[in-house]
Structure 1
Amino acid sequence: MTLDRRLMAEWLGTFSLLATVIGSGIMADRLADGNVAIALLGNTIPTGAILVVLITVFGPISGAHFNPAVTLSFALRREITPGDAGLYVAVQVFGGIVGVLAAHVMFEHPLLDPSTTARTGLGQWAAEFVATFGLVGTILACLKARPQAVPMAVGLYITAAYWFTSSTSFANPAVTIARGFSDTFAGIAPADVAAFIAVQLVAAVLATWFFGWLLNETEEDVA
């Protein structure tokens, strides 16, 4: 696929992911009548489901990263050039932000509304490390053992991680940045974004190295 098509796939996929995350979060919060568990469930199911769809649709075009941490992992494995990786990250972040704004328009929420939801502290950072490490590991292991299972595996992993991590598994720097623009159920205060991203990127690097070793890949594959 040409670079422009790959970038459009990454933009549109990340746009769709964030429109789903924020839109389902708003809908769930409005319908849950104050029950946070029900609201979280209403946010979780659409997110996991759309990931299966988006990875299935856009995987053959761009690899369906939709996530700078995943792009970093593939760059470390030399499966994407540094230049293309930088462009991937740029369109992922831009697509995510536009997806948030689209959700705001659909639900008649203020268009520009930075989040006030604090997400900080050791527990949250540890959760983001675990979530991102596991996500990258899921992708790399599935690609080696059963590539056709990646869409379902990623969707199911994120569905589970929403519930077993205290941070509700952002596991994605583009998602983290975009959710800072939304003072809704799925938001994160802009002041807390940088720490989340730092932990996610460290987890992606370590997961790339660890699963490269675990899966018995050559040094050249993970250098």
Structure 2
Amino acid sequence: MPAFDLPRRLVAEALGTCLLVATVVGSGVMADTLTDDTALALLGNTLATGAILVVLITVFGPMSGAHFNPAVSLVFALKRDLPRRDLGFYVAAQIAGGIAGTMAAHLMFDLPVIEVSLKARTGGSQWFSEWVATFGLVGVILAGLRFDGKAIPWLVGLYITAAYWFTASTSFANPAVALARSLTNTFSGIRPLDLPGFVIAELLGALCALALMGWLLRQPANNTYSAARHS
């Protein structure tokens, strides 16, 4: 864990999640305002989200780990890389920051500060997409940390950019962001009624990635490796 005390880490998590959600919601509003082409609007939303992730993880990573995501914090708590006593505080900071991000985006575009979403996102394909999106995100993070920690900002930003397009759900992959997006009735919104399915799928995807990557990335014993090479 970085050498920053808990209050500063929590502010970093809240501020980072706030800026992430403000980017997701704000770029969605901007794109939807500028074009009637849904594909072009999604592209604008995608590029802004991928870009801000690179920036935020680079800046806040050394402070708090730059989780911005309860599913990621849960994985790090289970790995004991995040003190388990801090998990609840991290999740609360991320949720508060995400809601603040939605409010900030609405204020910038002269929309109601809070507006419950009416956009339906439900069904097996959507839930499986969220499982895949979060499984891949956690897998990328764990493998990136194992082999090239400095590349994490780009790995996560590029993965989410791709996952916007190869998943049917457009890759929320984040319970705090999903909750925040339920409070905007704009391009990026999701009905509160649909939140439980998304959150459950995201948490399951994160846990499955932790289980698989824990086995896949395990460092082999030197003597076993040497014996295998010379057998």
Q: How does the TM-score come out when normalised to structure 2?
A: 0.93
In the aligned structure 1, how far is the partner of 2:83 from the partner of 2:196?
25
Please tell me whether residue 56 in structure 1 is matched to residue 58 in structure 2. yes
Aligned to 1:3: 6
Q: 2:144 aligns with which of 142, 148, 160?
A: 142
Aligned to 2:181: 179
Please tell me whether residue 89 in structure 1 is matched to residue 91 in structure 2. yes
In the aligned structure 1, how far is the partner of 2:219 from the partner of 2:58?
26
Q: Which residue identity lines up with residue 2 of structure 1 in the other structure?
A: D
Aligned to 1:196: 198
Q: 1:74 aligns with which of 73, 76, 99?
A: 76
Counting only pairs closer than 5 Å after superposition, residues 15-30 of structure 1 correspond to structure 2 as: 15-30=18-33
SS of residue in 2 equivalent to 1:86:
helix
| 1:101-129 CA-partner distances (Å, limit 9, x unpaired) | 00000000111210000000000001000
Aligned to 1:13: 16
Aligned to 2:208: 206
Out of 163-172 and 108-117, give the one that drifted further. Answer: 108-117
Aligned to 2:156: 154
In the aligned structure 2, how far is the partner of 1:217 from the partner of 1:98?
41
In the aligned structure 2, how far is the partner of 1:199 from the partner of 1:84?
23
In the aligned structure 2, how far is the partner of 1:112 from the partner of 1:17?
17
Aligned to 1:36: 38
- Runs of 4+ with >2 A deviation: none
In the aligned structure 1, how far is the partner of 2:73 from the partner of 2:98?
15
Q: CA shift at 1:99, angstroms? A: 0.5
Q: CA shift at 1:199, angstroms? A: 0.7
Q: CA shift at 1:80, angstroms? A: 1.0
Q: Which residue identity lines up with residue 8 of structure 1 in the other structure?
A: V
Out of 75-84 and 157-166, give the one that drifted further. Answer: 75-84
- Percentage identity across paired residues of the two chains: 60
In the aligned structure 2, how far is the partner of 1:80 from the partner of 1:158?
23
| 1:31-51 CA-partner distances (Å, limit 9, x unpaired) | 01x110000001000000000
| 1:109-154 CA-partner distances (Å, limit 9, x unpaired) | 1112100000000000010000000000000000000000000000
In the aligned structure 2, how far is the partner of 1:105 from the partner of 1:112?
9
SS of residue in 1 equivalent to 2:195:
helix
Gaps of 5+ in 2: 221-231
Q: Which residue identity lines up with residue 166 of structure 1 in the other structure?
A: A
Please tell me whether residue 170 in structure 1 is matched to residue 176 in structure 2. no
In the aligned structure 1, how far is the partner of 2:197 from the partner of 2:127?
7
In the aligned structure 2, how far is the partner of 1:94 from the partner of 1:131?
23
Q: Which residue identity lines up with residue 24 of structure 1 in the other structure?
A: S
In the aligned structure 1, how far is the partner of 2:89 from the partner of 2:162?
30
In the aligned structure 2, how far is the partner of 1:199 from the partner of 1:159?
20
In the aligned structure 2, how far is the partner of 1:148 from the partner of 1:57?
12
Please tell me whether residue 120 in structure 1 is matched to residue 128 in structure 2. no
In the aligned structure 2, how far is the partner of 1:8 from the partner of 1:217?
35
Aligned to 1:130: 132
Alignment length (residue pairs): 217
Q: Which residue identity lines up with residue 139 of structure 1 in the other structure?
A: I
Q: CA shift at 1:82, angstroms? A: 1.8
In the aligned structure 1, how far is the partner of 2:76 from the partner of 2:187?
31
